[in-house]
């Protein structure tokens, strides 16, 4: 397993290199540069600013310079936020997104799994139809509707919770964004757990357990639960990577200092280094969590052998 | 009024705004707001902590690198120039307590307050301004607004790398006297000096910490507040600077700027009582906000306008005055503004937004009835060679729009279709793409907007000067350029304005652009927030603000 992990991590390097190269080329081909603003600068001033950030060099040299910095862990200066480095932006934003994302994922897993398994065990009952109908609503209601609605109810009408802002370690500031973010995931997990539980409950080994006269509770907890997690694990890998890097909507509605919003604003502002930095981070996280998911398969399913 | 303030007022009376002209500003007498449950008392609130919403993350809080409005708002609280902005938005005495200028208006001497200090207690001297302004034009700084100093001797040559920084027309005669040499009379100098890029910066902090000098732990400033915390993209916390020369009159102990890029988020924070003053609100929410919040919704004129530009170098607009005039005439601006922009913005007929002492040169056609104007537009359209069989087919290029602006432009196109039969299609482009195509003069009919930096016609007129980088349509009229040049050398404020008025009449005659509407400020303001006045430059320093006792949110 160690050899497998090491091989996968080494294999990630060329993948990341492709991601960096593509992001670099795509951004530099897009029309307009970071310092083209609504007010036109004098050509000499424009040139001196571009020289300061090496934007006047040939593209291949800028690329090599960027790769060199990257190997040292330096993601470069942000063009959009002058006097701020991309490392600083990520260091400040990532913990915020991670806190909200992991809280949301914990909520989604706990509630979603409980509802899904319950629905599967009571298949065909009102409970089953009711919870799955709710799940459809949860999946199809966009976050930009849920988030303002939560603010309207809990901040504006009831004054129970703050309407936004971020205070480290404050559960009241965490709750609404985490719930808004968790809702679609909860619904998704519930549907997925229901499906896989039904499938597992119909498999021969469960039928054997039932034939032996084991009580249902024991069957579910001891035998059925682990195999039902397989589809969930493949979903969780990329989902956690996505949650960690933030949600644009939740961040802007609640005014949170995450990094999700930069996926759009930095690209629109041609903040090359910030876009590439966040893309690389996102790529690395996806690779990492997919690897973790694969390692989990081996634990869940004894038939899986990692080579 | 101190002698210095009086002098400040008289020296630039001509180029300042006399009144704030607010449409519905908060009432001055303490009273409960009719449409909300807030009760306001008369005594000061015990906690003087103000929460303000900002439209975006400041791109920088380095005065010489900041280029955006959010940056300017925060910098107005942290720093102070030779002049500053008073509660009505006018330039007034700042670090300089008095000044005098030579007869030709080209040399100015400023006397700095002896009690002006940096937030670390060090004295603020004339040498600090020399350092800061040289830093602004030094090509190594990479300041995007370096050309803002164009009025000062040698500034542009230094920014272009053709002269050393010490040739800049500014020198410290002693610690408290600063002499500034200009390359022409600049009646708006006092307004210019209150721009954020003219603020002084503290050299030892920059030498020691480099780019990191703007971090809260290193930042040394000279304004009414100091920076305590900066959470990028979320919040900036400022605290009162006890070393500020006028600290005795600053009542707020704390100002928190919340960055809320989503206009609706600003509204919900305001409704929840977590924010006292919003930077804006979505224009299309004005009607219900007004009914829910009454006087707390504040709109007032803003020194900017929204227009459409036309390409003078290519058909169909090249050498085609009848067509340009037909498009200008065939719009009913008042209903367009009232119904498509919720009455937030006023219809525009001129390039310059209203400015005291400046006689807006209304085009001749504004005197015509709608029917007569439309009939004339149709005649001009036919004269340009278009008809129902052979209509004008054209793309109107605009940047990615919010719903309200998109509906507005659709209505403009519909207006042209119904009056002239012209088929104009709205084409949305990413902002950077639009900018590049504008600079290459590729677009024929395009979205254009301008906001003046200081209350003077020059900031608007320059964009139609031959060869100006912002002259996207490539308009050129030697007579117009001569008038602008003459205004640049005219020291008499009245005569100068008359020259600009003549120049603007030429723009009308040439149908150089299509005016649509003047911008307006949009704020939500709690009734207990006082010391605040909407103004045409939309600059509101926290220094003057205070909170009254109140109950409810």
Measured between alpha carbons, how far is B553 from B276 in angstroms, rounded to an integer? 9
pLDDT beyond 70 at A95: yes
Average pLDDT over residues A284-306: 82
Q: What is the pLDDT of residue B157?
A: 94
pLDDT tier, B3 (very low <50, low <70, confident <90, very high otherwise): very low
Residue B383 · residue B322 · CB < 8 Å: yes
Q: What is the pLDDT of residue B552?
A: 78
Contacts of A6 (CB under 8 A, 6+ apart): none
Measured between alpha carbons, how far is A302 from A298 in angstroms, rounded to an integer? 6
Measured between alpha carbons, how far is A214 from A232 in angstroms, rounded to an integer? 26
Per residue in B323-337, pLDDT tens? 999 999 999 999 999
Q: What is the pLDDT of residue A201?
A: 87
Q: Show which of residues 441-460 on chain B sit within 8 Å of chain A, judged by CB atoms.
A: 449
Contacts of B338 (CB under 8 A, 6+ apart): none
For the record, the structure tokens of B184 come out as 């022409």
Kindly determine whether residue B265 and residue A36, on different chains, have CB atoms separated by under 8 Å.
Answer: no
Kindly determine whether residue A31 and residue B139, on different chains, have CB atoms separated by under 8 Å.
Answer: no
Kindly determine whether residue A36 and residue B432, on different chains, have CB atoms separated by under 8 Å.
Answer: yes
Kindly determine whether residue A252 and residue B269, on different chains, have CB atoms separated by under 8 Å.
Answer: no
Q: Which of B139, B144, B161 lies closest to A37 in CB terms?
A: B144
Kindly determine whether residue B144 and residue A49, on different chains, have CB atoms separated by under 8 Å.
Answer: yes
For residue B540, how many other CB atoms are within 10 A of its CB? Answer: 25
pLDDT beyond 50 at B8: no
Q: What is the DSSP string of B94-111?
A: SSEEEEEE-TTS-EEEEE
Per residue in A216-241, pLDDT tens? 888 888 888 888 888 888 888 888 88
pLDDT tier, B199 (very low <50, low <70, confident <90, very high otherwise): very high
Q: What is the DSSP string of B408-442?
A: HHHHHHHHHHHHH--EEEEEEE-HHHHHHHHHTT-
B271 touches chain A (CB under 8 A): yes
Average pLDDT over residues A76-82: 90
> Cα-Cα-Cα-Cα dihedral of A40, A42, A44, A50, to 10°?
-20
In what helix (H) or strand (E) does residue A118 lie, and over which residues does it extend?
helix A86-121
For residue A13, how many other CB atoms are within 10 A of its CB? Answer: 10
pLDDT beyond 60 at B183: yes
Q: pLDDT > 90: what percent of chain B? A: 76
- What is the pairing mode between strands B513-524 and B297-310? antiparallel
pLDDT tier, A275 (very low <50, low <70, confident <90, very high otherwise): very high
Nearest to B466, CA basis, from B314, B328, B313? B313
Q: Show which of residues 6-35 on chain A sit within 8 Å of chain B, judged by CB atoms.
A: 30-33, 35
Per residue in A112-131, pLDDT tens? 999 999 999 898 999 999 99
Per residue in B155-181, pLDDT tens? 999 999 999 999 999 999 999 999 999
pLDDT tier, A307 (very low <50, low <70, confident <90, very high otherwise): low
Residue B307 · residue B518 · CB < 8 Å: no
The nearest CA of chain A is from the CA of B262 a distance in Å of 6
pLDDT beyond 90 at A68: yes
Buried b (16+ CB within 10 A) or exposed e, B502-535: ebbbbbbebbbbbbbbbbbbbbbbbbbbbbbbbb
Residue B87 · residue B101 · CB < 8 Å: no
Q: What is the pLDDT of residue A218?
A: 85
A95 touches chain B (CB under 8 A): no
pLDDT tier, B36 (very low <50, low <70, confident <90, very high otherwise): low
Q: What is the pLDDT of residue B412?
A: 96
Per residue in B474-504, pLDDT tens? 999 999 999 999 998 888 889 999 999 999 9
Contacts of A128 (CB under 8 A, 6+ apart): A119, A120, A122, A194
Q: What is the pLDDT of residue B26?
A: 39
Residue B85 · residue B91 · CB < 8 Å: yes
Q: What is the DSSP string of A155-220?
A: IIIS--S-SS---TT-HHHHHHHHHHHHHHHHHHHHHHHHHHHHHHHTSHHHHHHHHTT--HHHII
Q: What is the pLDDT of residue A161?
A: 93
Q: Which has more pLDDT, B167 or B449?
A: B167
Q: What is the pLDDT of residue A148?
A: 93
Kindly determine whether residue A92 and residue B232, on different chains, have CB atoms separated by under 8 Å.
Answer: yes
Kindly determine whether residue A163 and residue B272, on different chains, have CB atoms separated by under 8 Å.
Answer: yes
Buried b (16+ CB within 10 A) or exposed e, B253-281: ebbbbbbbbbbbbbbbbbbbbbbbbbbbb
pTM: 0.89
Measured between alpha carbons, how far is A175 from A27 in angstroms, rounded to an integer? 36
Average pLDDT over residues B229-249: 95
Q: Which has more pLDDT, B542 or A13?
A: B542
Helix axes B333-340, B403-420, angle to 10 degrees: 150
- Among the ranges given (A254-258, A291-295, B173-177, B539-543), the one the predictor scored with the smallest mean pLDDT: A291-295
Measured between alpha carbons, how far is B189 from B194 in angstroms, rounded to an integer? 9
Q: What is the pLDDT of residue A306?
A: 65
CA–CA–CA angle A89, A92, A95 (5° rounding): 130
pLDDT tier, B75 (very low <50, low <70, confident <90, very high otherwise): very high
Write phi, then psi, for A280 (nearest 5 degrees): -60, -45
Average pLDDT over chain B, rounded to whole? 90
Kindly determine whether residue A165 and residue B435, on different chains, have CB atoms separated by under 8 Å.
Answer: no
pLDDT tier, B404 (very low <50, low <70, confident <90, very high otherwise): confident
Kindly determine whether residue B553 and residue A159, on different chains, have CB atoms separated by under 8 Å.
Answer: yes
Tokens 């219900």 correspond to B288
Whether the link from the prior residue into B316 is cis, omega within 30° of 0, is: yes
Residues of B within 8 A of A256 (CB-CB) are 233-234
pLDDT beyond 70 at B10: no
Q: What is the pLDDT of residue B32?
A: 41
Measured between alpha carbons, how far is A180 from A151 in angstroms, rounded to an integer? 10
Q: What is the pLDDT of residue B42?
A: 86
Tokens 């600053």 correspond to B250
Distances, alpha carbon B382 to alpha carbons A1, A171, B321, B378, in Å: 81, 69, 12, 6
Residues of B within 8 A of A83 (CB-CB) are 60, 62, 65, 211-212, 214
Tokens 């497998």 correspond to A4
The nearest CA of chain A is from the CA of B56 a distance in Å of 10
B218 touches chain A (CB under 8 A): no
Kindly determine whether residue A253 and residue B432, on different chains, have CB atoms separated by under 8 Å.
Answer: no
Residues of B within 8 A of A270 (CB-CB) are 432
């Amino acid at each position: 397993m160690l050899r497998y992990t090491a091989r996968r991590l080494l294999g990630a390097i060329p993948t990341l290199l492709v991601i960096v190269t593509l992001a670099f080329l795509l951004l530099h081909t897009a029309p307009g540069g970071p310092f083209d603003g609504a007010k036109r600068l004098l050509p000499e001033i424009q040139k001196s600013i571009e020289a300061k950030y090496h934007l006047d060099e040939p593209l291949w040299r800028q690329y090599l310079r960027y790769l060199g910095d990257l190997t040292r862990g330096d993601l470069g200066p942000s063009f959009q936020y002058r006097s701020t480095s991309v490392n600083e932006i990520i260091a400040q934003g990532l913990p915020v997104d991670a806190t909200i994302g992991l809280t949301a994922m914990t909520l989604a897993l706990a509630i979603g799994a409980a509802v899904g398994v319950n629905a599967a065990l009571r298949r065909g009952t009102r409970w089953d139809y009711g919870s799955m109908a709710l799940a459809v609503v949860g999946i199809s209601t966009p976050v930009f509707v849920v988030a303002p609605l939560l603010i309207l109810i809990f901040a504006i009408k009831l004054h129970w919770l703050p309407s936004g802002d971020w205070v480290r370690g404050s559960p009241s500031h965490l709750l609404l964004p985490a719930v808004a973010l968790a809702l679609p995931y909860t619904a998704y997990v519930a549907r997925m757990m229901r499906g896989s539980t039904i499938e597992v409950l119909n498999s021969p080994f469960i039928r054997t357990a039932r034939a032996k006269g084991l009580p249902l509770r024991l069957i579910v907890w001891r035998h059925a639960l682990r195999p039902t997690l397989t589809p969930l694990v493949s979903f969780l890998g990329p989902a956690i990577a996505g949650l960690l890097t933030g949600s644009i909507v939740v961040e802007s509605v609640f005014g949170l200092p995450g990094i999700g919003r930069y996926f759009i604003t930095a690209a629109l502002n041609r903040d090359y280094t910030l876009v590439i930095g966040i893309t690389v981070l996102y790529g690395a996280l996806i690779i990492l969590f997919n690897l973790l998911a694969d390692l989990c398969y081996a634990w869940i399913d004894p038939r899986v052998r990692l080579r | 009024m101190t002698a210095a303030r009086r002098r400040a007022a008289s020296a630039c009376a001509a180029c300042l705004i006399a009144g704030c002209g607010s449409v519905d500003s908060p009432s001055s007498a303490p009273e409960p707001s009719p449409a909300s449950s807030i009760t306001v008392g008369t005594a000061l609130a015990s906690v003087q902590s103000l929460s303000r919403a900002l439209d975006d993350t400041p791109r920088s809080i380095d005065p010489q690198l900041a280029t955006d409005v959010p940056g300017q708002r925060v910098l107005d609280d942290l720093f102070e120039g030779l002049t500053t902005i008073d509660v009505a938005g006018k330039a007034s005495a700042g670090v300089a307590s008095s000044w005098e200028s030579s007869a030709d208006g080209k040399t100015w001497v400023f006397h700095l307050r002896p009690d002006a200090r940096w937030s670390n207690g060090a004295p603020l001297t004339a040498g600090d301004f020399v350092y800061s302004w040289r830093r602004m034009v030094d090509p190594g700084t990479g300041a995007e607004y370096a050309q803002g100093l164009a009025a000062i001797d040698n500034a542009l040559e230094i920014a272009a790398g053709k002269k050393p920084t010490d040739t800049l027309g500014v020198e410290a005669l002693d610690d408290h006297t600063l002499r500034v040499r200009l390359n022409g009379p600049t009646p708006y100098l006092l307004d210019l000096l209150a721009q954020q890029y003219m603020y002084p910066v503290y050299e030892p902090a920059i030498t020691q910490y480099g780019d990191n000098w703007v971090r809260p732990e290193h930042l040394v400033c000279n304004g009414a507040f100091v920076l305590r915390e900066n959470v990028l993209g979320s919040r900036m916390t400022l605290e009162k600077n006890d070393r500020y020369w006028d600290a005795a009159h600053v009542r707020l102990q704390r100002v928190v700027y919340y960055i809320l890029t989503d206009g609706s988020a600003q509204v919900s924070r305001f409704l929840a009582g977590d924010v006292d003053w919003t930077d804006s609100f979505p224009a299309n929410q004005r009607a219900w906000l007004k009914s829910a919040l009454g006087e707390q919704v504040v709109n007032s004129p803003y020194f900017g306008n929204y227009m459409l530009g036309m390409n003078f170098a290519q058909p169909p607009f090249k050498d085609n005055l009848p067509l340009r005039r037909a498009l200008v005439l065939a719009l009913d601006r008042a209903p367009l503004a009232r119904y498509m922009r919720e009455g937030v913005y006023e219809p525009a007929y001129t390039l310059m937004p209203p400015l005291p002492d400046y006689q807006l040169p209304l085009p001749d056609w504004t005197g015509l009835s709608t029917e007569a104007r439309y009939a004339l537009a149709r005649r001009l359209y036919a004269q340009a060679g278009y008809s129902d069989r052979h209509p004008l087919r054209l793309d109107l290029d605009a940047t990615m729009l919010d719903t309200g602006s998109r509906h507005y432009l659709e209505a403009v196109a519909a207006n042209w279709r119904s009056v002239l039969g012209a088929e104009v299609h709205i084409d949305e482009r990413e902002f950077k793409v639009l900018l590049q195509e504008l600079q290459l003069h590729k677009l024929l009919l395009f979205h254009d907007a301008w906001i003046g930096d200081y209350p003077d016609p020059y900031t608007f007129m320059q964009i139609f000067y031959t060869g100006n980088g912002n002259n996207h349509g490539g308009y050129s009229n030697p007579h117009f350029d001569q008038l602008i040049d003459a205004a640049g050398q005219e020291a008499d404020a009245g005569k100068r304005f008359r020259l600009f008025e003549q120049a603007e009449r030429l723009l009308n005659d040439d149908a150089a652009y299509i005016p649509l509407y003047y911008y307006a400020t949009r704020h939500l303001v709690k009734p207990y927030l006082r010391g605040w006045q909407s103004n045409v430059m939309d600059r509101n320093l926290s220094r003057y603000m205070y909170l009254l006792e109140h109950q409810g949110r």
